[in-house]
A and B are shown apart, each in its own frame.
Chain A
């Protein structure tokens, strides 16, 4: 059986089998490649070649809500209408059982009644498109139609009228927190505020549906593939909508009453660093951003820097007490005008005889000479370091779109005058959030918390991300903070605005500021125009909220007294909103004179 005759055919068979197996193997590999490895590509390809149609599906842009979940920004759908000029003409309609040809003039008038245009305008659009190209198949009729308008037009069943839906933005509360929320353009591009800076949270991902249709327009079973659209996340802010509205109405009235250029009220929660309100006037209604001047469309609170003036005396006092240089009872001799050893000259606001003021008295009577004399007891570098620790010139952790930083020059660049000016808030700049953050530190036992505007972002799948905030900083000791608070309470009870800021039952701590403004053209301070501020917190026995009220160049009253009514109303509303109980004790009474 192993003879030559039998061995040969078997070998042939084996060879043939191998060849067959090899071919089969090649086919199997190719099959697996087509059906498994590259299956998706081929499905894509087949759909492109095939008779399928596809439809883009839009995800919904995420909503922006306040601390209680009230919607500040939501998404709606608007419609664009377009005409097919080539087909424009009379339409056959059945009216009372009779077939009538309705002329284009009547049709255009019907459309116009819904879109708010005139029949002539619509006819002109079609005529213009046809004049340009007699074969024209597209002419834009109008955009931004509401669903109600769209349905009314669609129900007319005009064959040459088509619609395109596109997502749009709506702001149910109008200008409430419009300065923070920002707005988007008509094409959906975020243009301002949190809409831009938090776009990563809010943006949605578009999806697509592909399918094949039967003759009657019904989707053929088994041909539909869907890539689902992903909705944007919900952005929760720390803002309280109702409080913010009240403060916006308040600052609008006060800005008008005092004849100021602009005004703002800023509220920070002492124990959390959360910004509860950022009201300003004038401001923007994100539903109609073009209705206001371009300079009013962004937040002045975050973008403007200013020389703060006497509100900085609280910071100077804080560093004096914390460093052990002085205490509320330390006394200095204060003439109306003082020329220091280095030649710098400082004077007080109002003419007065020589006094022996305590540090407390210096704050209560807001003496520039007094605080300059005290500040001279510390090194420039130490004062600079304290200001930096308070966050002045450092910006805040909010990182708002276009947020400005204050500017404190390095002490090596301070000239003789600046050395003293900086102790009462001139010769340096800050921002409202920086100032509020510094006062938050004093109110919170010396512990400065990072300011927060965004609470969290909840993605469509439910995952919650909270923004990465900075670390708290112990700026001054709790004992120093308490002593500064005591002095600021004396400012509230005995200072220039004491009769206007009192809230029955509550202990208030505050400091006023009437700062000179640099005239950018002349490079000198403006005469008779001031940037006025009151910064304070309550209840002083257990501080809960910091309120900063600013007015830019008030004219009816030019000093910080202009801010007093707004400060009292704002603080009252904050205390009511958060159900803060009245204080059970009286403010301490510290000596003013030594």
Chain B
């Protein structure tokens, strides 16, 4: 390290400098070049470019923010509609059930016929028992509605607003205004006690 340094210093030692007889490598310029005017256009372009970038960024930012607000509004709208849909779904729940349909039809006096009869489309022939339906329905959909549906227990029938799928409520009140419901018969007719 120190040997290198010494060797380098040695080269710059003034005493042993030989005289250079060749022409000098550096010389003054005869005539200074005319200074060119700076091009204004480049500057303007650069400034405008920067401005454009800033502006574009602001526009994009504003648009994004606006979109965010639009999304926010739409989201709350969607939420409101979801609630509406849920409310409507709750309101009609159970109305499409077969027991409600049958109870309504039964309240209109419609009966379920026992004997199946078919009308053949190809030749118009009646196939089957071809009997008229009796007065009695094969099941009593409104009087003895036995297939429960808690969703529509209190819902009045469309065709008979006094009845529900569980039949017509018998509400008897005595003088005190208390509801008197006769006890249900579960074990057949009561037998009188005779002595």
Give the contacting residue for A250; candidates B4, B86, B139; CB below 8 A.
B139
How many angstroms between the C-alpha atoms of A83 and B96 in the bound complex? 37
B87 touching A148 by the CB < 8 A rule?
A: yes
Q: Is the CB of A221 within 8 A of B93?
A: no
Cβ-defined partner of A285 (8 Å) among B96, B114, B148: B148
8 Å CB contacts to A: which residues of B70-117? 71-72, 83, 86-87, 89-91, 93-94, 96-99, 102, 112, 114-116
Cβ of A444 within 8 Å of any chain B Cβ, yes or no, is: no
Interface size range of chain B in the complex: 35 or more
Residues of A contacting B72 with CB < 8 Å? 218-219
Chain A positions 271 through 292: 1 when the CB is less than 8 Å from some CB of chain B, otherwise 0: 0000000000100010110010
Shortest distance from the beta carbon of A201 to any chain B beta carbon, whole Å: 23
- Interchain nearest-CB distance for A69 vs B (Å): 12
A174 to B7, CA, bound (A): 108
Verify if A582 is at the interface (C-beta below 8 Å from B): yes
- Say which one of A314-322, A372-380, A423-431, A568-576 lies at the interface with B: A568-576
B93: chain A residues within 8 A (beta carbon): 76, 170, 172
Q: Within the assembled complex, what's the spacing in Å between the Cα atoms of A328 and B195?
A: 59
A504 touches B131 (CB 8 A): yes
User: Is B156 at the interface (CB under 8 A from chain A)?
Assistant: no
> Which one, B19-27, B28-36, B44-52, B61-69, is touching chain A?
B61-69
Chain B nearest Cβ from A291, distance in angstroms: 7
User: For residues 241 through 293 of chain A, which have their beta carbon under 8 Å from a beta carbon of chain B?
Assistant: 241-242, 245-246, 248-250, 252-253, 256, 259, 281, 285, 287-288, 291
- Report the bound CA distance from A321 to B23 in whole Å: 135
Tell me the complex Cα distance, A22–B138, Å: 92
Would you call A505 an interface residue if the criterion is a C-beta within 8 Å of the partner chain's C-beta atoms? yes
Q: Could you show 7 A-B contacts with beta carbons less than 8 Å apart?
A: A151-B83, A170-B93, A174-B99, A174-B147, A176-B99, A219-B71, A582-B116
Chain B: residues with CB nearer than 8 A to chain A? 4, 7, 64-65, 67-69, 71-72, 83, 86-87, 89-91, 93-94, 96-99, 102, 112, 114-116, 118, 127-129, 131, 138-141, 144-152, 188
**A residues near B, CB below 8 A?**
4-5, 8, 70, 76-77, 146-148, 150-151, 170-176, 218-221, 241-242, 245-246, 248-250, 252-253, 256, 259, 281, 285, 287-288, 291, 503-505, 568-569, 572-573, 575-576, 579, 581-582
* 9 nearest A-B residue pairs (beta carbon): A174-B149, A252-B146, A504-B129, A287-B150, A245-B98, A147-B86, A288-B150, A285-B148, A173-B97
